[in-house]
Amino acid sequence: MFIRQFRYLVAVAEERHFGRAAQRCNVTQPSLSSGIKQLELELGVPIFLRGRGQRFHGLTAEGERVATWSRGVLAYCDAMRKEIAIMKNDLTGNLRLGAMPSMSPVLPWVLKAFRDRYQGVRVDVQFVGPEAMKLGLNNFALDVALTYLDKADLGRKNTLPIYTEQLSLLVPDRPPFQKRKTITWREAAELPLAMLRPSMHERRFVDQVFKGVGCSPQARVESESILHLMFQAQFTDLCTIIPSHFAHAPGLHHGTRALPLVEPIVSQDVGLFWAEGEIVLPMANAFVSIVQELNKSGKLRRHLAGDKVDFEPEITTKKLKRA
């Protein structure tokens, strides 16, 4: 068996097309097909379903398992290269991070600390839901994921608590809100609201809170973008619910005020997730270590509270123990 055969197999499974998979691997289609046939002969099982022509017809049950193992083999080969790079203080490549939209204001500060330490790494942030995070971590398409600890169904994963998120109501900065310091959920339910789409986790959580106080408000505008909803509050008469730390993001809400939502005060714990295993993949190891340092120093907590914080920690990456 050769590493390239595993790479061919994963490419076909993900592209669902032999021609595109060959282009992705920079080989001819006959070379790709020959490599996969040799792998089938060595394993003694068919990997792909056969049909007329050269079209992709899917993987066999055995092929699905081989594809899963192949992703693991490729991930550990990549991890070996990256761990050697860390030992040489020369980590390069991509950090692939999945996150929920509500974490947008938090990520730049954390990622700055990471980029300051590993300047050769390119960061790819993907705003996806829990199911996509779970799939990405399982298939080694994501290195780490940032989401809610109590609601995430990501399976058996390593976790690191980061911060607690509370909610505020973003309102136009004019009467009758100018003298208010807080607002109740019942009062918020009576106002014209712009809200996230019902399919999103944050919206479902908010709907549960409203239901708990006996209210069921109807959204005037819905969107998957919290930033767009904030603009609705800035330029129209609508109000919107935001994580309280959004209130400290500069330049996003001129002409608005953020009123903490009370009666009840609700919160959700946010944490970092990464794949379980005997070996923690180096890119995840590097990122988790920096988050641990920010937690220990209290810098992230102070930033979320609105304090001005210098995010340039002196960090020495250590190998993480299995959780």
Ranges of each domain in the chain: 3-80, 91-162+268-304, 164-264
Q: How high is the pLDDT of residue 105? A: 81
Given a cut of 50, is residue 320 above it in pLDDT?
Answer: no
The DSSP code sequence of 158-205 is: EEEEEEEEEEEEEEESSTTSTT-S-EEHHHHHTS-EEEE-TTSHHHHH
Which fold does the domain 91-162+268-304 belong to in CATH? D-Maltodextrin-Binding Protein; domain 2 (3.40.190)
Top-confidence residue, 265 or 17: 265
Given a cut of 90, is residue 98 above it in pLDDT?
Answer: yes
- pTM for the model: 0.66
- Binned at pLDDT 50, 70 and 90, residue 135 comes out as confident
213 contacts 292 by C-beta, under 8 angstroms: no
Given a cut of 90, is residue 248 above it in pLDDT?
Answer: no
Among 53-62, 75-84, 201-210, which range has the highest average pLDDT?
A: 201-210
User: What's the N-to-C CA distance of the chain in angstroms?
Assistant: 32
DSSP-derived 3-state class of residue 5? helix
Given a cut of 90, is residue 276 above it in pLDDT?
Answer: no
Top-confidence residue, 200 or 275: 200
Report d(CA 200, CA 135) in Å as an integer: 17
Q: How high is the pLDDT of residue 316? A: 43
Q: How high is the pLDDT of residue 2? A: 79
Total residue count of the chain as it appears in this document: 323
Containing H/E element for 301? Answer: helix 299-304
Q: How high is the pLDDT of residue 187? A: 96
Given a cut of 90, is residue 209 above it in pLDDT?
Answer: yes
* Residues 136-193: tens digit of each pLDDT: 888 888 999 999 987 556 666 788 888 899 999 999 988 889 889 999 999 999 999 9
Tally DSSP H helices, then E strands, for the chain. Answer: 11, 10
144-155 core/surface letters (b: 16 or more CB in 10 A; e: else): bbbbbbeebebe
Q: How high is the pLDDT of residue 210? A: 97
- Binned at pLDDT 50, 70 and 90, residue 314 comes out as very low
- Binned at pLDDT 50, 70 and 90, residue 240 comes out as very high
Which fold does the domain 3-80 belong to in CATH? Arc Repressor Mutant, subunit A (1.10.10)
Query: Would 91-162+268-304 and 164-264 be classified into the same CATH topology?
Result: yes
Beta strands 256-262; 157-172: pairing state? antiparallel
Given a cut of 60, is residue 263 above it in pLDDT?
Answer: yes
- Binned at pLDDT 50, 70 and 90, residue 259 comes out as very high
Q: Which of 128, 68, 76 is nearest to 98 (CA)?
A: 128
Top-confidence residue, 125 or 73: 125
What mean pLDDT comes out for the span 12-35?
A: 87
Q: How high is the pLDDT of residue 313? A: 45
275 contacts 291 by C-beta, under 8 angstroms: no
* Residues 116-131: tens digit of each pLDDT: 888 888 999 998 888 8
Instruction: Tell whether the torsion through CA atoms of 160, 164, 169 and 170 is positive or negative.
Output: negative
164-264 under CATH 2.60.40.1220, yes or no: no
| Amino acid letter for position 242 | I
Share the mean pLDDT of the chain.
84
Q: Which of 90, 151, 89, 93 is nearest to 123 (CA)?
A: 93
Given a cut of 80, is residue 212 above it in pLDDT?
Answer: yes
DSSP-derived 3-state class of residue 34? helix
195 contacts 219 by C-beta, under 8 angstroms: yes
